[in-house]
Structure 1
Amino acid sequence: MFDLHRLRLLRELKHRGTLAAVAAALSYSPSTISQQLSLLESEAGIPLLEHVGRRVRLTAQAEILVAHTEAVLERLEQAEADIATSLTDLTGTLRIASFQSAALALVPNALNLLHRAHPLLRVQFTQMERESAVPALLARDFDLVIDVEYPGIPSPRPAEVEQEDLCDDTLHVAHPDIVDTADPTETLRKLAGQPWIMEPEGTIARRWSMALCREAGFEPDVRYESTDHFLHLRLAEQGHAAALLPGLAWHGRRLTVPVQPLLGVHHRRRLLTAVRRGSGRHPTIKAARQALLQAVDQLVP
């Protein structure tokens, strides 16, 4: 029978990419990881790793082992959920990750609700963009991630992840020169010659922003890049750049720059909660999702 600890190391290598990354994440030395994987190869009786330059990659047989390991870990997640359900109160640690605007608008109220309902539950929170947070969820660095989808820009949906809807968030264009019109596309065209601030290349928000401007008939002059929506808003307020902003970006704050919503369902981003498959039944996950939904209900329109 295969050793589960070694199988998990093989799985970690698949998700983290290098022996050094696995060692750093699990507080082992790379040589220890290598020795354990060599023992797993002996158990399997076949090569599980092959060298590609200075890196290693999984063989086809190793990929088969990882797929079965995922199934075993999913059952263990379910077992953990069943045990936790049998207890009278929630304890332990829940690790949450979220991108900035959802973190500011939703997480503080959700933490208040969780603390009042489950004072023995310890919650850890990390602000992280979804491009990094979802892989970290799969690598078991987090238990729940607030994810986001932008209209018309499909996001990868790993089979090992379960998602539930959280809320929709209307997207807007912001700039001092905006004159409200019935046609947001016309507003975008009038700002075509302005400098723009957008999120960095490679992010889902950047792909959506570029596609929106191109559909309006122009290539935006992107002079500023940041994942910080407060910076987007500040540069728009002072006329340095036009910005495309979600409504949550200024929640609870008075706007000092004209904004125009991009009308229709195709101009709303979708927020979701993502967890590893099999863990959605865990009482702490259920409590966190419920608290986040309540935090959405508490948002002031």
Structure 2
Amino acid sequence: MAEWEIRKLRILRTLRERGTVTATAEALHMTPSAVSQQLTNLAAQLGVPLLEARGRRVRLTDAARLVLRHADAVFEQLERADAEMAAYTRGEAGEVRVAAFSTAVPALVVPAVRALRASRPGVSVRVREAEAGEAYDLLAAGEVDLALSLAAHAPTAVDPGFTRVPLLADPLDLALPPGHALASAPEVRLADLAAEAWIFGGSGPWSDITRTACEAAGFSPHQGHTAAGWTAILAMVEAGMGVALVPRMAAPRRDGVVLRELAADRPHRHVVAALRQGARDAPAPRTVLTALRTAATHLTTGQDARIEARED
């Protein structure tokens, strides 16, 4: 197989455009003798004559024109590669794999993807729903580039393997059946529900969050029923079978359930994103992270507006 050298092909291509060795040398900031030497070397490598003398000038041979027909296609592809690489370094191109817990997908990831389609169409996002522990296992293994989780279940901020970025503090609201004595009370505190039957998962993040919030309010919750999905939890609340804490980010609205904002002891769950330390400056993941932070800001602003509307 012949040896193809981009630099020498560029010299031959410039000669076709400029017409003379002197003009080619000027365009490429070379000496005429260097241009002639490079073209002689290229002809020897390809095993065909590339130039023929015409008086004091040279002209391209048919073999040279054949070479250039293929070289043009090569240079066109290289120009596309240069453009794509430039877009990549600006964070405007590339695939980013994101692992996120269930309520973060519709609340944060989907709005971020929609925004990126408009502003950075070259950036594609591949989403994988995963609980906190699994998300960080995937991140550590290099199977995803970004992981969204709850702070309580994420690596610590000093973990040398990850860069952790806070996204938002998601308030927890109280879900009550319509006929509950506190459904229309002027103010509701978590401690007011100490004697109630609580509905939450038997294990996992949401069980831990519910127990931690109630214990911070001074009591240990009695688990009347066990459920992990919001459809099941809210159906049981609606039926008067118990009460539950609901993340505002999930926004699981149901006509037969009253959602009350808690007063002074209002609990939150903190949502964070993480990248591997070695990839913290990679352009495309940073672009997606910026979109996620913007989505979190918009979500928080929208939540505040809904609260003010209810108070009015």
Counterpart Cα distance in 2 of 1:270 and 1:193: 26
Deviation of 1:286 after TM superposition, in Å, equals: 1.5
Equivalent residues, number = 210
Structure 2 gap segments, 5+ residues each? 1-84, 304-312
Please report the TM-score for the alignment, with normalisation by the length of structure 1. 0.61
What corresponds to 1:185 in structure 2?
Answer: 190
Deviation of 1:139 after TM superposition, in Å, equals: 1.1
The percentage of aligned residue pairs carrying the same residue is 24
Q: 1:123 to 1:273 in 2, by over 3 A?
A: same
Please report the TM-score for the alignment, with normalisation by the length of structure 2. 0.59
CA contact (8 A) 1:93 1:122 kept: yes
Deviation of 1:134 after TM superposition, in Å, equals: 1.3
Counterpart Cα distance in 2 of 1:296 and 1:88: 23
| One-letter amino acid of the structure 2 residue matched with residue 114 of structure 1 | L
Q: Secondary structure at the match of 2:207?
A: helix
Alignment of 1:83-122 (within 5 A): 87=89, 90-122=92-124
What corresponds to 2:245 in structure 1?
Answer: 244
Q: Secondary structure at the match of 2:278?
A: coil
Alignment of 1:266-277 (within 5 A): 267-277=267-277
Q: Secondary structure at the match of 1:241?
A: coil
Deviation of 1:265 after TM superposition, in Å, equals: 7.8
Counterpart Cα distance in 1 of 2:250 and 2:280: 28
Deviations 1:25-59 (A, max 9, x none): xxxxxxxxxxxxxxxxxxxxxxxxxxxxxxxxxxx
Deviation of 1:240 after TM superposition, in Å, equals: 3.0
Q: Secondary structure at the match of 2:172?
A: strand
What corresponds to 2:79 in structure 1?
Answer: none
| One-letter amino acid of the structure 2 residue matched with residue 233 of structure 1 | L
Deviation of 1:247 after TM superposition, in Å, equals: 0.5
Deviation of 1:110 after TM superposition, in Å, equals: 0.6
Deviation of 1:255 after TM superposition, in Å, equals: 5.3
Structure 1 gap segments, 5+ residues each? 1-82
Tell me whether 1:289 sits opposite 2:289 in the alignment.
yes
Q: Secondary structure at the match of 1:122?
A: strand
Deviations 1:38-93 (A, max 9, x none): xxxxxxxxxxxxxxxxxxxxxxxxxxxxxxxxxxxxxxxxxxxxx87873563332
Q: 1:160 to 1:145 in 2, by over 3 A?
A: same
Deviations 1:133-160 (A, max 9, x none): 112111111110112125xxx7542431
CA contact (8 A) 2:87 2:93 kept: no
Counterpart Cα distance in 2 of 1:261 and 1:282: 40
Counterpart Cα distance in 1 of 2:245 and 2:133: 19
Point out the structure with max Rg over C-alpha.
2
Moved more, 84-93 or 234-243: 84-93
Aligned-pair RMSD on alpha carbons? 2.7
| One-letter amino acid of the structure 2 residue matched with residue 294 of structure 1 | T
What corresponds to 1:49 in structure 2?
Answer: none
Counterpart Cα distance in 2 of 1:182 and 1:280: 44
What corresponds to 1:173 in structure 2?
Answer: 174
Counterpart Cα distance in 1 of 2:290 and 2:221: 42
What corresponds to 2:58 in structure 1?
Answer: none
Counterpart Cα distance in 2 of 1:174 and 1:89: 42
CA contact (8 A) 1:210 1:220 kept: no
Q: Secondary structure at the match of 1:107?
A: helix
Alignment of 1:157-172 (within 5 A): 157=156, 158-172=159-173
Q: 1:128 to 1:89 in 2, by over 3 A?
A: closer
Q: Secondary structure at the match of 2:93?
A: coil
CA contact (8 A) 1:101 1:229 kept: no
Deviation of 1:272 after TM superposition, in Å, equals: 1.2
